[in-house]
C-alpha cells in the first residue's frame, strides 16, 4: 500500500497581496504550485487576493499575518504539515516579498523601515530554520547598486554604494540570507534584483495600487491619464541621455512573476545565487510618456521639473546571467507595459477600493 502523496509543491509567499506578489501568485498557481500566502495589508488589501482567486479559478490559502510576529508565523508552519512520509513541514520554499518599499518614506522613517524589513526577515528565517524549510527566493532591488554611474550593472558589481535606508534594508537582507547559506549547509537562496517593474496582468483585474501620491513614474502617468493629476513632472532635463531625462530598465510585472517560477525550477547547484531581473534595455522618462500616449491614444501632458534628489541618470541591468542560468527572457515590450498599465487603471480608476 502506498502512502498518500502531497499532490503539488507548497510555496509560502510573504507579501502576496502586493503588486508583484499578486502577479506571482497567478503564475505560480497556473504553473502547478500550491501556495500559502501571508500579508499584513500594510500596503495592500484582501481584494487583491480575491481578484487572484478569480483569475486562477480556485481558492487561495491566505493568512493576515505580520512576518514580524514570530508566533503567528510559527503556527502557520506548524499547520503546513506533509501527509507523507512523516509530519514534516510541507512548505518547500518561501518567496519573500513582504517589505516596505517607498524610498522617500524610508528617509523620514528609518526605524520603521529597519524594524519591518530586517526584523521581519530575521523572524521569518528563524521560523524557517526551526521547521527545516531552508529555501528562499528573495525580492532584492536594483537599488542595491546605489548612486553609481554604470552602463549596465552585473551581479558582481558592488552593493556598497547604497544611498537610502530602504536600499540599505535590501542590502542587509541580502547579507543576512547569504550568511545563513554560508553557515548552514542545507540552506539555498536565490536573490532576485528587480529593475523597474510596471504594467499589470492582461485581465486588467490586478495591478499597482499606490496609496496617496504616487512616487513612481508609471502609476503617476496612469493617474494623469485617468484625470486625477494634471500633468507629469519629468524630474531632470540635463542628464547625459537621449533627451536629458533619466533612463531606467522597465520590466513587465508578468515577466518578473515568471522569473520567480524559473527560480523555483532552477537546478544550478550553488548555495546563494544572485540574478538581475530586467530587460537590459534603457528607456528615458520622455520615451515612456510618449509610448503610453501613443499606444493608448491618450494625450499625457508633461513638463520638465528639477532633478529628484538621489536619482541617477541611468539604471539598466545586464540580464545575461538570468538568461543563461534560469532561461529568463522578457517577452513583453514597453508598448505592452503601457497598454496593460492603462487597462488596469481605466478598469479600476480607484484601484482595489
Ligand atoms: P507592495 O508594497 O505592493 O508589496 C509588498 C507587500 O508586503 C504588501 O502587500 C505589504 O502589505 C506586505 N508587507 C509589508 N510588510 C509586511 C510585514 N511585516 N508582514 C507581512 N506583510 C508585509 O510592493 P511590491 O512592489 O509588490 O514589492 C514587492 C517586493 O519587491 C518588496 O520587497 C519590494 O521591496 C521589492 N521590490 C519592488 C520593486 C518595485 O519597483 N515595485 C523594485 C525592486 C524590489
Ligand atoms: C523612474 C524614472 C524618475 C516619477 C524606484 C526605487 C527603486 C526600485 C524601483 C524598489 C526616474 C522619473 C518618476 C515622476 C519622473 N524600487 N520620474 N516623474 O526611482 O527608478 O526606482 O523603483 O526597490 O529602489 O527607487 O523608479 O518610477 O520612481 O522613477 O520623472 O513623477 O522616472 O526620476 O528617472 P526609480 P521611479
CB 170 within 8 A of CB 160: no
Residues paired with 292 in a beta bridge: none
Question: Is the CB of 237 inside a 6 Å radius of any atom of ligand 2?
Answer: no
Backbone phi, then psi, for 261, in 5-degree steps? -65, -45
| Amino acid 90: pLDDT | 94
CA distance 25 to 45: 15
Is 166 considered catalytic here? yes
Question: Which residue out of 33, 145, 166, 194 is catalytically annotated?
Answer: 166
- Sign of CA pseudo-dihedral 256, 280, 166, 240: negative
Helices (H), the chain: 19-30, 46-56, 70-79, 103-108, 110-113, 120-130, 165-183, 217-225, 253-265, 285-295, 320-326, 334-347
Q: Model's pTM, two decimal places?
A: 0.98
Cα 216 to ligand 2 centre (Å): 5
Q: Given the C-alpha cell 510576529, which residue does it identify?
A: 69
Report the Cα 247 to chain-centroid distance in Å: 20
Backbone phi, then psi, for 197, in 5-degree steps? -75, 130
For helices 217-225 and 334-347, what crossing angle results, to 10°? 50
Q: What is the mean pLDDT of each run of 10 residues along the chain (353 residues)?
A: 74 98 99 97 98 98 98 96 84 98 96 98 98 97 94 97 96 98 96 98 97 94 97 98 98 99 96 98 98 98 96 96 98 98 97 94
Question: Is the CB of 311 inside a 6 Å radius of any atom of ligand 2?
Answer: yes
CB 96 within 8 A of CB 137: yes
For helices 285-295 and 334-347, what crossing angle results, to 10°? 60
| Amino acid 3: pLDDT | 63
| Amino acid 7: pLDDT | 75
Residues paired with 73 in a beta bridge: none
CA distance 8 to 307: 49
| Amino acid 165: pLDDT | 97
b/e string for 306-330 if b means 16 or more Cβ within 10 A? Answer: eeeeeebbbbbbbbebbeebbebeb
| Amino acid 74: pLDDT | 97
Question: Is the CB of 169 inside a 6 Å radius of any atom of ligand 2?
Answer: no
CB 257 within 8 A of CB 20: yes
Give me Rg for the CA atoms of the chain: 20
Reduced to 3 states (helix: H, G, I; strand: E, B; else coil), residue 48 is helix
The closest of 224, 249, 236, 244 to 309, measured between CA atoms, is: 236
Question: Is the CB of 168 inside a 6 Å radius of any atom of ligand 2?
Answer: no
CB 94 within 8 A of CB 134: no
Question: Is the CB of 314 inside a 6 Å radius of any atom of ligand 2?
Answer: no
CA distance 124 to 267: 24
Cα 242 to ligand 1 centre (Å): 32
User: Which CA distances in Å does 52 have to 27, 30, 64, 78, 340?
Assistant: 10, 11, 16, 26, 16
| Amino acid 301: pLDDT | 98
Which H helix or E strand runs over 250? strand 250-252
Q: Given the C-alpha cell 532552477, which residue does it identify?
A: 266
The closest of 146, 330, 335, 306 to 233, measured between CA atoms, is: 306
CA distance 28 to 7: 15
| Amino acid 8: pLDDT | 85
Our mutation pick for probing the ligand 1 site, out of 98, 190, 210, counting the most ligand atoms within 8 A of Cβ, is: 98
Amino acid at each position: 500500500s502506498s502512502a498518500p502523496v502531497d499532490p503539488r509543491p507548497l510555496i509560502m509567499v510573504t507579501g502576496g497581496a502586493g503588486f508583484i506578489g499578486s502577479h506571482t501568485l497567478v503564475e505560480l498557481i497556473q504553473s502547478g504550485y500550491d501556495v500559502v500566502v501571508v500579508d499584513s495589508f500594510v500596503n495592500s488589501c484582501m481584494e487583491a487576493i480575491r481578484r487572484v482567486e478569480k483569475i486562477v479559478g480556485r481558492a487561495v490559502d491566505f493568512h493576515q499575518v505580520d512576518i514580524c510576529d514570530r508566533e503567528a508565523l510559527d503556527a502557520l508552519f506548524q499547520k503546513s504539515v506533509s501527509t507523507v512520509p512523516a509530519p514534516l513541514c510541507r512548505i518547500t520554499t518561501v518567496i519573500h516579498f513582504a517589505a516596505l518599499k517607498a524610498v522617500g518614506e524610508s528617509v523620514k522613517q528609518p526605524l520603521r523601515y529597519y524594524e519591518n524589513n530586517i526584523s521581519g526577515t530575521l523572524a521569518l528565517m528563524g521560523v524557517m530554520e526551526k521547521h527545516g524549510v531552508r529555501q528562499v527566493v528573495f525580492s532584492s532591488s536594483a537599488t542595491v547598486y546605489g548612486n553609481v554611474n554604470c552602463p549596465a550593472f552585473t551581479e558582481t558589481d558592488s552593493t556598497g554604494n547604497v544611498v537610502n535606508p530602504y536600499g540599505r534594508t535590501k542590502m542587509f537582507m541580502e547579507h543576512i540570507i547569504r550568511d545563513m547559506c554560508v553557515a548552514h549547509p542545507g540552506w539555498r537562496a536565490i536573490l532576485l534584483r528587480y529593475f523597474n517593474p510596471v504594467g499589470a496582468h492582461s485581465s486588467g483585474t490586478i495591478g499597482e495600487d499606490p496609496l496617496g501620491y504616487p512616487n513612481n513614474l508609471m502609476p503617476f502617468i496612469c493617474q494623469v491619464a485617468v484625470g486625477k493629476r494634471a500633468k507629469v513632472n519629468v524630474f531632470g532635463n540635463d542628464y547625459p541621455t537621449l533627451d536629458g531625462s533619466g533612463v531606467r530598465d522597465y520590466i513587465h510585472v508578468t515577466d518578473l512573476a515568471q522569473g520567480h517560477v524559473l527560480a523555483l525550477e532552477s537546478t544550478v547547484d550553488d548555495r546563494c545565487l544572485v540574478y538581475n531581473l530586467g530587460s537590459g534595455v534603457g528607456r528615458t522618462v520622455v520615451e515612456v510618456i510618449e509610448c503610453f500616449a501613443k499606444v493608448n491614444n491618450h494625450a499625457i501632458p508633461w513638463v520638465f521639473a528639477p532633478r529628484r534628489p538621489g536619482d541617477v541618470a541611468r539604471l539598466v541591468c545586464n540580464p545575461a546571467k538570468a538568461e543563461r542560468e534560469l532561461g529568463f527572457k522578457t517577452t513583453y515590450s514597453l508598448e505592452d507595459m503601457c497598454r496593460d498599465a492603462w487597462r488596469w487603471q481605466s478598469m479600476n480608476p480607484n484601484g482595489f477600493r
